[in-house]
Structures are given as C-alpha cells and as structure tokens.
Amino acid sequence: MINAYERKKQPAVVRRSLLDHGAQLCMLHGVASLTLQAVAEAAGVTKGGLLHHFRSKQELVEAIFEDLLASFDAGLEEAMAGDPEPHGRFTRAYIHETLDLIDDGRFSPWAALTMAMLADAGLRHRWADWLQQRLERHRITDGAPSLQIVRYAADGLWLASLIGEVEADPAKRSALFHQLIAMTKDSAP
C-alpha cells in the first residue's frame, strides 16, 4: 500500500473525493454534524490536505452545494435537450429533476443540504441566484405565471418528501408527475 507521502499528488482527484465523502457524510449525519476531520478520514487524506482545498467547514459545505447544483443543472440541460416543445421546456425539466430527488429519497445529499439551505442565508441566496439566472434565460418560454405555479408545486413535493409526506405509492406519485407535466402544456401561450 502506498502511503500519503509516496503517492503522486492529484489535486483534482483529492478534491473530488473530499466533495463526494463530504456529501455522503452530510447525507448520513446532517450538515450540522459534519466535521472536517471526519471528511478527511473518509477521503483518506490528512486534515491539512483537506484544508489545502477548503479553508473551513463552511467553505466545504458551500463547495458541496455548488457541486450538487452543477449536477442538477446538467440534468436540467440534458432533459431540455431531449424536449422538442419550447414552451414550458425548462419547467418540465425542472419537474423531472426535482422529482428525481424524491426518488433518491430523504437521505440524499440534496436532502441534507436543502435543510441546511433553510437555515443558511448564503446557501439560500446562492440557490435563488441560480434559479433567477435560469428563469431569466428561459423567460420567453417559461415566464408564464401558470408555469411558475407548476414549479412551486414541484418544490412543494420535494419539501414534503423531506418530512415523509409525499405519497409512497409509486403509481400515485407517477400520476402527480404526469399531471404537473400536463399543466406545462395546458398553459401554452
């Protein structure tokens, strides 16, 4: 086995490992219980190695949030690319990605970070900024108030899933999903 002093430094690999293990620990124990030492140990690096990438727990949490947001954004782009109908395209992709989070369960990294976002103004502002930029980009196709209501409904389903209030029956959840999708098409300009 190669020890930390013998292996080649691979900062991108180490950073990725820290983000992945940090997200996993947030998922398992919550953001409040996250410690830099636990993340370093899980990733197989020293605490000093972690601090080389992230100067504080807050910086690590923000980086995990940004990483998950980038993944969510990539999923949106992929879903939009496969949707031939311009009107409501962003909203349909948003529904798909948001409801996929429900399928991932209450113990996903997003669940832990959503709860942290409710208490952390910086994360809330980052989410709001990201969403505002996307909505501005898709204002012509997704600016209708009826589409905003559909996105709010998807957000409500996600938050309800965090407290265990979402319909457990997959058929009923599927019906909710299809109803939301249909609402994006019923609101054509």
Contact 12, 29 (CB under 8 A): no
Domains of the chain with bracketed CATH: 11-186 (1.10.357.10)
Please give the residue that has the higher pLDDT: either 96 or 2: 96
- The pLDDT, as a whole number, for residue 6 is 47
Read off the pLDDT band of 105 (50, 70, 90): low
Give the model confidence (pLDDT) of 165-186 as tens digits: 766 677 887 888 999 999 998 7
Distance, in Å, from the CA atom of 185 to the CA atom of 188, rounded to the nearest integer, reads 6
What's the predicted TM-score (pTM) here?
A: 0.83
Distance, in Å, from the CA atom of 45 to the CA atom of 35, rounded to the nearest integer, reads 14
- The pLDDT, as a whole number, for residue 118 is 81
How many other CB atoms are found less than 10 A from the CB of residue 78? 12
Backbone angles phi, psi at 16, to 5 degrees: -60, -45
Contact 92, 47 (CB under 8 A): no
Task: Examine the pLDDT at 159 and tell me if it is beyond 70.
Answer: yes
Contact 90, 141 (CB under 8 A): yes
